[in-house]
């Protein structure tokens, strides 16, 4: 990729061409140029992902052992207990495992930890409770890789515990510490790497079910339940956990979005689950569900349960087949999410005050709510361009932290570098958390600051913006916007097309609620509608009468309809 000469943006990003630079003055030339830049042809399988393209689940390390044990439990009518987690990935994975295994005839129970009382992971006590309740087999989802004590207790009690997870194991690049589990399904294992290590926890659980269903069929056991009915929840979890939307994840999310966008009977084989239909309605999602819809409207409501109350509520909504129960639970999640937004804003402001001018973004306070410290950390990381660790005080008086990253940093590796100051932790590239050892806060902060500084040496290389091509206003047509939708699902790992439009005159600037601004821009002969979110970041660069060059996406304007298009501004070029 070559750098665009003498160009920088308001957001201080370096512009690079994604491929060979091109300029298009009409929709067809723009589309053809984009395909060339992305190395694609219109007939490529990329544009029509098929479930048959999914890899054999038995290629995952430990899968044959895990799936064989689950199959045995189903055939023998053993009691299976699912150990979930409280975020969207954890509750979605718990929901799909519970729903599918029950449909196969298994006796299934589940548990979700409480965020502030229990924290992430499987505790020793939940394992003991499961055994006491008569369970012989446990399956974790989105957790367990660093739950050494729980796995040891399971072995001691003769309880087979299968870990399905995607978080980084403890250890450095040369060695890793793994739990003493009956089976460990985790693509992040050094010796595994299944599906290019891209799966979320729910995705790992889905592949376990695929392998189990294959074995049940081989055993002559007729299971009518269609695993494709779970893909709406798999898509929700994958997007909510900000996984790369490439390879296997592209296939899963593509088909999950198709299911989320179908209407009709909640019990229909191609319809979204009852809970997802209720959540779409309460979130007022009337247009097509996209990755953006999940990220801004659906996932926050699912996560709100675990943040403010208990993740069990979200899990029940995601797995219920009762429409009335789903509606009541969705309404409750919606109200909880409203409260979450208010509390989050307060914690973010308080953290900013406490940090002051500190170069290390690490702070905690006994008044801060456990459910929103991660969100506050995320806002701090985005604002300051480096990772943040924000904590709260547990009922036992310990400091439990949530970490969020920024481009170029890997949170899981940051945590590994601070391991000696933590009692337990887990994380992946963008997020993680752990518990600071008693009396070790200052040592943790020093280690965290050092780890951030070490990674920052190459983090600046990530502050770039890839540009697909330059568009003239003559290319801004609904036909191009419709074709661009073929790239869905877009997101991390499969970026939306970013265009540069140059030297335009802003003829109109209209402010709306929430920092949104609508623009009309013109090249002197034609004009285009543009919309800017978070306009405060651009200062006076977008004032009426200005001559600007803009970066962004061309999209259909669903609000106006009738083939109208708009340019969604993502950055503004400024003179060097």
- Across residues 18-40, what is the average pLDDT? 96
Name the residue among 265, 263, 272, 279 with its Cα closest to residue 313: 279
Categorise residue 541: left if φ over 0, alpha if ψ from -120 to 50, beta otherwise. Answer: alpha
- Across residues 408-420, what is the average pLDDT? 91
Categorise residue 242: left if φ over 0, alpha if ψ from -120 to 50, beta otherwise. Answer: left
Does position 461 have pLDDT exceeding 60, yes or no? no
pLDDT score of 14:
83
Separation of alpha carbons 185 and 191, rounded Å: 11
pLDDT score of 160:
98
Does position 267 have pLDDT exceeding 70, yes or no? no
pLDDT score of 1:
45
Provide the residue count of the chain: 576
Distance in Å from the first CA to the final CA of the chain:
20
pLDDT in tens, 501-514: 999 999 999 988 88
Burial class (CB in 10 A: 0-12, 13-18, 19+), 342: exposed
pLDDT in tens, 511-525: 888 889 999 999 999
Distance of CA 28 to the CA centre of its chain: 33
Task: Quote the tokens at residue 237.
Answer: 């979890």
Residue 108 main-chain phi, psi, to 5 deg = -130, 135
- Asked whether the beta carbons of 303 and 501 are under 8 A apart, the reply is no
pLDDT in tens, 168-227: 898 866 789 999 999 999 999 999 999 999 999 999 999 999 999 999 999 999 899 999
pLDDT in tens, 64-101: 999 999 999 999 999 999 999 999 999 999 999 999 99
Going along the chain from its start, the domains and CATH numbers come out as 3-48+464-574 (2.40.50.140), 59-269 (3.90.1640.30), 357-459 (3.10.310.30)
Does position 562 have pLDDT exceeding 80, yes or no? no
Specify the pTM: 0.90
Integer angstrom CA distances of residue 439 from 29, 435, 442, 559 = 63, 12, 8, 55
Structure confidence at residue 264 as a pLDDT band (50, 70, 90): low
Structure confidence at residue 575 as a pLDDT band (50, 70, 90): low
pLDDT in tens, 51-63: 999 999 999 999 9
pLDDT score of 266:
46
Does position 462 have pLDDT exceeding 80, yes or no? no
Structure confidence at residue 5 as a pLDDT band (50, 70, 90): low
Other C-beta atoms lying within 10 Å of the C-beta of residue 553: 18
Burial class (CB in 10 A: 0-12, 13-18, 19+), 442: exposed
Cis peptide before 422 (omega within 30 of 0): no
Percentage of residues of the chain with pLDDT beyond 90: 79
pLDDT score of 472:
96
3-state secondary structure of 210: helix
Separation of alpha carbons 302 and 313, rounded Å: 9
Integer angstrom CA distances of residue 109 from 114, 323, 342, 350 = 17, 21, 34, 40
Percentage of residues of the chain with pLDDT beyond 70: 96
Does position 6 have pLDDT exceeding 80, yes or no? no
* Residue-averaged pLDDT of the chain: 92
- Across residues 406-424, what is the average pLDDT? 90
């Amino acid at each position: 990729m070559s750098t665009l000469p003498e160009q920088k943006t308001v957001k201080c990003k370096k512009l690079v061409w994604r491929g060979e630079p091109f300029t298009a003055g009409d929709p067809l030339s723009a589309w053809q140029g984009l395909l060339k830049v992305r190395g694609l042809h219109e007939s490529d399988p990329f544009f029509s992902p098929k479930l048959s393209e999914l890899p054999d689940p038995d290629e995952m390390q430990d899968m044959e052992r895990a799936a064989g044990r689950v199959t045995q439990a189903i055939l023998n009518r053993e009691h299976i207990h699912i150990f979930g987690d409280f975020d969207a990935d954890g509750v979605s994975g718990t929901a799909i495992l519970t729903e599918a295994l029950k449909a196969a005839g298994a006796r299934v129970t589940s548990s979700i930890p409480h965020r502030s009382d229990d924290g992430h992971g499987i505790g020793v006590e939940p394992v003991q409770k499961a055994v006491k309740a008569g369970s012989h087999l446990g399956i974790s989802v989105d957790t367990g890789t660093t739950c050494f004590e729980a796995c040891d207790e399971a072995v001691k009690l003769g309880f087979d515990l299968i870990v399905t997870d995607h978080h980084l194991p403890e250890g450095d690049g040369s060695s890793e510490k793994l739990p003493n589990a009956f089976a460990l399904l985790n693509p992040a294992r050094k010796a595994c790497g299944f599906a290019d290590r891209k799966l979320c926890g729910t995705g790992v659980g889905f592949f376990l079910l695929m392998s189990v269903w294959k074995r049940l069929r081989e055993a002559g056991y007729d299971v009518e339940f269609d695993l494709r009915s779970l893909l709406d929840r798999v898509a929700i979890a994958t997007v909510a956990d900000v996984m790369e939307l490439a390879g296997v994840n592209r296939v899963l999310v593509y088909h999950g979005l198709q299911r989320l966008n179908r209407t009709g009977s909640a019990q229909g084989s191609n319809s979204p689950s009852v809970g997802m239909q209720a959540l779409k309605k309460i979130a007022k999602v009337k247009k097509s569900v996209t990755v953006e819809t999940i990220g801004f409207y659906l996932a926050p409501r699912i996560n709100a349960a675990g943040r403010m109350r208990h993740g069990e509520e979200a899990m029940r909504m995601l797995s219920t087949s009762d429409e009335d129960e789903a509606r009541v639970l969705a309404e409750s999640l919606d109200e909880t999410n409203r409260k979450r937004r208010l509390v989050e804003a307060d914690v973010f402001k308080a953290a900013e005050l406490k940090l002051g001018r500190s170069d290390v973004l690490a702070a905690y306070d006994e008044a801060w709510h456990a459910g929103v410290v991660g969100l506050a950390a995320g806002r701090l990381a985005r604002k300051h361009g480096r990772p943040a660790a924000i904590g709260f005080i547990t009922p036992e008086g310990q400091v439990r932290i949530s970490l969020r990253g920024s481009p170029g940093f890997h949170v899981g590796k940051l945590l590994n570098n601070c391991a000696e100051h933590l009692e337990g932790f887990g994380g992946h590239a963008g997020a993680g958390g752990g518990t600071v050892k008693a009396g070790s806060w200052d040592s943790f902060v020093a280690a965290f600051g050092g780890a951030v500084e070490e990674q920052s040496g190459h983090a600046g290389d990530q502050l770039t913006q890839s540009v697909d091509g330059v568009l003239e206003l003559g290319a801004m047509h609904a036909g191009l916007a419709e074709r661009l939708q073929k790239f869905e699902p877009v997101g991390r790992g499969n970026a939306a097309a970013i265009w540069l439009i140059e030297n335009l005159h802003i003829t109109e600037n209209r402010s709306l609620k929430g920092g949104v601004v609508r623009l009309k821009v013109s090249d002197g002969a034609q004009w285009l509608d543009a919309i800017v979110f978070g306009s405060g970041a651009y200062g006076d660069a977008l004032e009426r009468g200005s001559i600007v060059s803009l970066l962004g996406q061309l999209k259909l304007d669903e609000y106006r309809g009738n083939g109208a298009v708009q340019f969604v501004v993502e950055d503004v070029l400024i003179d060097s």
